[in-house]
Every structure is written in structure tokens, then in C-alpha cells.
Structure 1
Amino acid sequence: MLIAIVAVVMAASVLLALWAGRASRGGGISEFLVGGRSFPAWLVYFLAVGEVYSIGTMIGFPSGIYAHGASYGIWFLGYILLAYSLGYFLAPLVWRAAHRHDAMTVPDVFGRHYGNRALELITCVTMLIALVPWGQYQFIGLQVVLSNLGLRLSPVQCVLLAGVIAFVYIAVSGIRSPAFVSILKDVFMLLGVVAVGLAAVLAAGGTAEVTGPAVLARAQTTMGGPALLFAMTTILFQSVVFYLGFGGAYVFPARSERAVKSSTVWMPLYMLIYPFLVFAAYYGLQHHPGLANPNTVFMVTAKGLLPEPVLGLVAAGAALSGVLVLSATALTIGGMVSRNLVPNVRPAAQRRWTVGVVAAFLVLAAVLTLTASTLMLTVLNLTYNLLAQVVPGWLAVLFARRVRAAAIATGMVVGVAAAVTLYVTDATLGGINPGLVSMGLNLAIVFGWRLIAPGPRRAPVAREGGPAVTPRAVATQPAP
């Protein structure tokens, strides 16, 4: 029954992807990567939440509370709420920058705004290093979730099926498949999370028996000292990276700035799933203490409370979440390789190149999942810290008039080196999030350089219509 439900849902998602592909048949690279910049607000909303609320939400949020208590939940919820507030103002400007430069990737924006091929390459390499483990994590998370929910598939079968379905999504319609499949994914993810949370409350005898002061230790509901400092700095750090690091993938396809802004208004509604995840986490803490792997708490709780048909809904939501984010990440990587990393790819050939890179990435990620997943998981923690290194460049593009491309490139390289060093040395910094420190160093270089040696005057994107210096053409990258 369980595997039949998952199979039916995944088959339905493939049919939905094929249906979505009707609009992109015969389209060029713009249609493939950014949907021809035609997505209305409601589709931008589903694409964004589809990529943001991934399989990591079902695994990471409950396991973080299970292992670390309230401090994890506070910074997790806090940064998302602050990100939506910032995104209301920043996300439309990100779209405007892409529209101004006819850009389909973040390196496109940076390279064309400053007319600098070196900056384009450095941005591309930085984002590739950050996104490869993020895509890899979807494979690993999918394998962990489905195996713990009792789906009788071997690791090889899980990885193979996920890779094939993710490739089909992208091959048939590019960005349109993740956008439309995200609607189906959200239905099953919401049903699954709510079912587990409600089952936990009913089994315990009410919310007070799950989250009340009589059943929870003080350490699970309070925080202070380094934990509080880490929570506050992480809220600030990750809320900025949310749109200026990850945002291009789900902002660029919008049809207008208004569509982007409208989509952000409704995004906080999706956070209604978090109370149910909290119930599942605290129920697991009381009834399944001492789990060897905290990442399994949501699945263990679900398996112990739900009948098999409902458990199938949970498994289907988890499977769709992992495959959806995997496909969208693969498309982003493919687009950057075909447009920014490899020089002189003709626009007519970029779609074929992108599909080829997507296939190569999925094969590589699948092999690494089966042979070196532990190594990749250790690198995963760097994803946010590395993506943060494009934030100073975005701030310069959006708001600064006289920043040099060399300053942004240098700040990015130094920031990446600092992020890796702080991670490898496991620096605690008194509780300050290391990503904030590396990004701060990057910002100091970019805007300190501007004070010492200002660059040529350019109109920042936030001041659309002002006097601007026309960037030099990037010689090695043809226009689309």
C-alpha cells in the first residue's frame, strides 16, 4: 500500500510536468531557465515555497528541536519571518536587476552590470561550490526519509528513481516543471505534516501534554548566553541570504516586480505547518528519547502513530519535496555552467548544454550519495555561508554607485576562504554565527575599497532611470 501510494503520486507529478512542458516546447534558453519571465504571482509563490520548504524542513526542523530545544526553533522561525519582511522590498529589486540585464543567472547579473568576465566567473564558481552539496543533500535526505518510513526500496533504487524523475522534470519543460509540481508537492507535504502533528496531539491527550510546562524540561524551552547570541546572529544572517543568496531561482521567472512583491505577501501563510512539526518533535522527545540519529524523529513519530495509507501521504510529500528541490538545483547549476562557466556557447545550443549538465550533475550526485554521503553532509553546512558571499555583490548592484568589480571579486574570494576556514577550524566565536563573520569581512572589503578607490559612476538598480555607465560587453559570453 505504502509503495503504491508513492508510485501513484510520483507518476502524477511526471504527468503534471509533461503538461507544463507544453508551453515551453520550441522555446529558447529564456523559456527554459526563467519561463520567459512570465510567471504570475501565484505561480512564483508556489515555486518559491516549493524550493524553500524542502525535505530538509521535514527532517531538520523537528530534529533540531529534538536535539537542541527551543533555541533551534526560535532562530529557524525568526529568520524566515524576517526574510519575508526583507524580501518584500529586496526581491522586486532582484527581479529588476535581472530584467535590466536580460539575465537568467546571478553571474549574468554581476558580469553584465560591471562588464567584467572575471567577476562573472568568480560568482559562478562560488555558487557552484555552494549549490552542489545542497542538491546532494536532497538525495541523502530522500534516502533517509523513505527508508525510515518503511518504503521497501534499496539505497540504489531510491537514488536511481529520484535522479530519473528529477531529470524528466527538467528535460521536458525546464523551470515550469518545478513550478507546477510544487503545487502537488505542497498538497501532500501539508497533509503529511498536519497528519503527524494532529496524531501526536491526539495520542498525547492534548497540546498541554505535548508542549506544556509539566512535560517539558526547562532546558527545552529556554535559552541564554552563546545559544541566544547564535540565534540572534543567525536570524540576521540567514534572513539576508534567503533572497540575496537563494532568491534568483524563484524570483527571475516572475512576469513583473508587482508579481514578485505580491507573492511575498502570502508566503508567511505557509509557516502554519510549523506548529505541527513542533508537536511531532516534542512528542518524539517524550516517547522516543535517545534516538541514535535525531534526524529520524519525524519519521519515527509518523510511523508509530499513522496507519499505512496516511503514512503513504507523508512518504509521497517527502519524496516530492526531495525530487523537486533536486531538479530545481540541477537546473540552476546547469544554467550557470552553460551560460557562465563555459565560454562561447551559442544561445541556440545553451538549452542542450543545460540539459546535458543537469544529467551529469544528477549522475555525479547519485554516485556520491552511494559512495561518499558522509563527506558531502559535512560540506552541506557550508551552503549558506558560501552563498552569503554573493550578498555584498547584490547590495552593490542594487544600491551602490561607485563600487569596482575588483572589490566585489576580492571580497567574494576572501569571504569564501574565511567561511571555509571558520568551518574547518570549528570556530565558535562566542556564539556568533561564523557565516555572519565571513560575510561581514566580505562587506568590509567591498565598501571599504569603495571609500578608498571609488569606481566609475553607475546607476544602482534601486535608482532605475538615473545616469548610468554602459558596461563593457563581456567578450567571452554571447548575448542571449
Structure 2
Amino acid sequence: MLILIVAVVMGLSILLALWAGRSSRGGGISEFLVGGRSFPPWLLYFLAVGEVYSIGTMIGFPSGIYAHGASYGIWFLGYILLAYSLGYFLAPLVWRAARKHDAMTVPDVFGRHYGSRTLELITCVTMLIALVPWGQYQFIGLQVVLSNLGLKLTPVQCVLLAGIIAFAYIAVSGIRSPAFVSILKDAFMLLGVVLVGLAAVLVAGGTSGVTGPEALARAQTTMGGPDLWFAMTTILFQSVVFYLGFGGAYVFPARSERAVKSSTVWMPLYMLIYPFLVFAAYYGLKQHPGLKNPNTVFMVTAKGLLPEPVLGLVAAGAALSGVLVLSATALAIGGMVSRNLAPNVRPAAQRRWTVVAVAVFLVLAAVLTLTASTLMLTVLNLTYNLLAQVVPGWLAILFARRVRTAAIATGMVVGVVTAVVLYATGITLGGLNTGLVSMGVNLVIVFGWSLLAPGKKRSPIALERREPARAAPVTQPAG
């Protein structure tokens, strides 16, 4: 029964992807990557929350609380909430920059704003390095879901199935598939999280039986010292990276700045699912202590509380969450490879090369998952630390007049190296988020250099005239 439910839901998602692609067949690269820049607010909302609330929310968030206590829950909630406040003001400017430069990828914006092929390449390589762990993050979650439900699937089979479905989404309709499938995904994800959380509370005899002082040790509900310092610095750091690092994927397809703002206003409502995830995590901590793999706590808890048909719905929501974000990430990488990394690819061939790049990325991320799997929130931190290195460049594009191109390129390279070294060595710095350190080094190089030796004067995006209320969709690909 469980396998049948998951299979039926995944089959419905593929049919929905085919339906979504009915209007994009035969379209160019702009339709494939950014939907012709025509998404209304409601579709943009589902695309954004579909990528933001991924399998990491459903699987990674409870695993972090299980392994590290309250501190992980606090920074996870805090950075998302602060990011929405910042995004209301920053996201429309990101869209404005993309529209001005007819950009479909972040490296497009960087390279065209500064007229530098070198900066375009460095930005592209930086984002590619950052997004590969993000794809691995989704695969880890999918492997956890499918392998902990009693399904007779090996890790290789789990990863293979997820990769095939993610590729199918992209191959049939590009960005429209993740956008429309996210509607189905949200329905099952919300249902699954609420059911598990409610079941945990009911079985425990109320919320006090899950989160009360008699149910949890003080160390699981309080924090101080390095943990508190890490939580506060992480909230600040990741809230900035949220839109200026990931934002292009779910901002560029909007049809106007107003559509971006309208979609952002309602996103905090989705955070109502987090109390139910907290209940599931703390219930799992009490009932299933000492799990060898903390990533499994949500599914182990669900399996112990719910009957098999309902468990199938939970599994379907989790699987859709991972596959959806995996496909959107693969599309972003494919677009950068075909437009920014590979030289002289004809616009007419870019869609074909994007699909090829998507396939290569999925294979690479799958191999990394099978050979180097780790705690999901650890992989999440690496992704953010690397994506943070495009933040200083974005700030320069949006707000600065005389920043040197060489300063942005140098800061990005030094920031990536610093982030990798800090991550590999495991330096804690007294709890300070190491991503904030690497991004700080990058910021000092970019703006310090440009202050001492100002570059060519350019008009910052924030000071340019706002676009019309209804912007015309992109009709022609960039040359």
C-alpha cells in the first residue's frame, strides 16, 4: 500500500509537469529557464516556497534539533523570518537587475552589469561549486525517506529513481514543472507534517508531554555561550544569503516587481508548519534516543505513529519536496553551464545543452550522496557559505556606483577559498558562523579596494527608474 501511494503521487506529479509544459514546447531558452519572465504572483509564490521549504525542512530541521538541541531550531526559524523582511525590499531589485540586463542566470547579471567575461566566469564557477552540495542535500533527504519506510530499495536504487524523476520534470518543460508541481508538493508536505506533529502530541498526552520540562532535559531546550553566538550570527548571515544567493531561481521568472513583492508578503504564513516539526523532533528524541543517523528521526517517528496508508502520504510529500528542489537546482546549474560556462553556444542550442548539463549534474550529485553522505544541516551550511560569496557583488550591483570589477572577482575567489578552508578544518571560532567570516573577508576586499581606488562610474540598480506595472515578457534569448 505504501509503495503504491508514493508511486501514484509521483506519477501524478509527472503528469502535472507534462501539463505545465504544454505552453512551453518549442519555446526558446528564455521560456525554458525563466518562463518568459511571465509568472504571476500566485505561481511565483508556489515556486518560491516549493524551493525554500524543501526536504531539508521536513527531514533536516528535525534532525538538527535531535542532534544539537534548541539552538538549531532557533537559527533555522530566525533566519527564514528575517530573510522574508529583507527579501521584500531586495528581491524586487534583483528582478530589476535581471530585467535590465535580459539575464536568465546570476552570472548573466554580473557579467553584463560590469561588461566582464572574466567576472561572469568566476561567478558561474562559484555558484556551480556551491550548488553541487545543495543537490547532494536533496539526495540525502530522499535516500532517508525511501530507505527508512520499509521499502525494499537499496541506496543506489533510491538515488537513481529520484534522479530520473527530477530529470523528467526539467526535460518536459523547464522551470514551469517545478512551479506547478510545487502546488501538489505543498499539499502533501503540509498534510504530512501536520499529521505527524498532531499524532506525536496526541500519543504523548498533550504538548507538555512532548515539550514540557518533564519530557525534555534542560540542555535540549536552552542554549548559551558558543551555541547562542552561532545561532545569532547564523540568523544574520543566512538571512542575507537567502535572497542574494538563492533568489535568482525564484525571482527571475516573475512578470513584474509588484509580482515579486506580492508573493513575498504571504510567505511567512508557511512557517506555521514548524511547531508540528518541533513536536515530531522532540517526540522522536524521547521515544527513539540514540539513533545512529539523526537524519532519520522524522521518518522513524512517523513510521511509529501513523498507519501505513497515512504514512504513504507523508512519504509522498517528503519525496516530492526533495525531487522538486533537486530539479530546480539542476535547471539552474544547466542554465549556467550552457549560457555562461561553455563558450559560444548558439542560443538555439542552449536549451539542448542545458538538458545535457542537468543530466550530468544529477549523476554527480548522486555519486557524492552515495560516497560522502553526512548530516543534512552540515551540507546546508556548506552551501550557504559558498553562495554567500556572490552577496558582495550583488550589493555592489544594487547599491554602489564605483566598485571595481577586479575587486568583485578577487573578493569572490578569496571568499570561496576561505569558506572551504574554514569548513574543511572545522574551526569553530568560539561559535561564530564561519560563513559570516568568509563573506566578511569578501566584503572588505570588494569595498575596501574600491574605496581606495574607485572604479568606473555605473548606475546602481536601486537608483534606476522602476519598471512599469506590467512588464513585457522576455521574447528573445540573449545573443
TM over 0.5: yes
Q: Deviation per CA, 1:171-229, whole angstroms, max 9, x where unpaired?
A: 11000000000010010011110010000000001111111123222111111111111
SS in 2 for 1:25: coil
Which residue is equivalent to 1:134? 134
Which residue is equivalent to 1:190? 190
Q: Matches of 2:2 and 2:26 in 1, distance apart?
A: 38
The 8 Å contact of residues 108 and 120 in structure 1, kept in 2 or not, is answered as yes
1:278-289 superposed matches below 5 A: 278-289=278-289
Which residue is equivalent to 2:2? 2
5+ unaligned residues in a row in structure 1: which ranges? 467-477
Which residue is equivalent to 1:422? 422
Which residue is equivalent to 2:395? 395
Letter in 1 for 2:413: V
The 8 Å contact of residues 60 and 377 in structure 2, kept in 1 or not, is answered as no
1:152-231 superposed matches below 5 A: 152-231=152-231
Q: Matches of 1:378 and 1:221 in 2, distance apart?
A: 21
2:453 matches 1:448: no
Q: Deviation per CA, 1:382-406, whole angstroms, max 9, x where unpaired?
A: 2110000000000000000000110
Which residue is equivalent to 2:337? 337
Which residue is equivalent to 1:469? none
Which residue is equivalent to 2:469? none
Letter in 1 for 2:420: V
Deviation for aligned residue 1:67: 1.6
Which residue is equivalent to 1:479? 478
Aligned pair in 2 of structure 1 residues 238, 377: CA closer, same or farther (>3 Å)?
Answer: closer
1:106-145 superposed matches below 5 A: 106-145=106-145
Aligned pair in 2 of structure 1 residues 372, 213: CA closer, same or farther (>3 Å)?
Answer: closer
Deviates more, 1:250-259 or 1:362-371: 362-371
Q: Matches of 1:370 and 1:220 in 2, distance apart?
A: 31
The 8 Å contact of residues 133 and 377 in structure 1, kept in 2 or not, is answered as no
Letter in 2 for 1:223: M
Name the Cα RMSD after superposition: 1.6
Deviates more, 1:204-213 or 1:246-255: 204-213
Q: Matches of 2:377 and 2:220 in 1, distance apart?
A: 26
Which residue is equivalent to 1:292? 292
Q: Deviation per CA, 1:61-102, whole angstroms, max 9, x where unpaired?
A: 111111211111111100000000000000000000000000
Deviation for aligned residue 1:376: 11
Scaled by the length of structure 1, the TM-score of the pair is 0.95
Which residue is equivalent to 1:18? 18
The 8 Å contact of residues 136 and 376 in structure 1, kept in 2 or not, is answered as no
Deviation for aligned residue 1:167: 1.0
Q: Matches of 2:376 and 2:307 in 1, distance apart?
A: 34
Letter in 1 for 2:48: A
Q: Matches of 1:286 and 1:190 in 2, distance apart?
A: 24
The 8 Å contact of residues 64 and 377 in structure 2, kept in 1 or not, is answered as no
Letter in 2 for 1:327: S
Deviates more, 1:257-266 or 1:128-137: 128-137
Letter in 1 for 2:178: P
1:453-468 superposed matches below 5 A: 453-465=453-465
Which residue is equivalent to 1:46? 46
Deviation for aligned residue 1:317: 0.6
Q: Matches of 1:289 and 1:376 in 2, distance apart?
A: 19
Letter in 2 for 1:33: L
Which residue is equivalent to 1:350? 350
The 8 Å contact of residues 135 and 330 in structure 1, kept in 2 or not, is answered as yes
Which residue is equivalent to 2:64? 64
Q: Matches of 2:369 and 2:317 in 1, distance apart?
A: 21
Letter in 1 for 2:269: L
Deviation for aligned residue 1:372: 4.5
Q: Matches of 2:80 and 2:349 in 1, distance apart?
A: 38
Deviation for aligned residue 1:365: 2.6
The 8 Å contact of residues 81 and 268 in structure 1, kept in 2 or not, is answered as yes
Which residue is equivalent to 1:81? 81
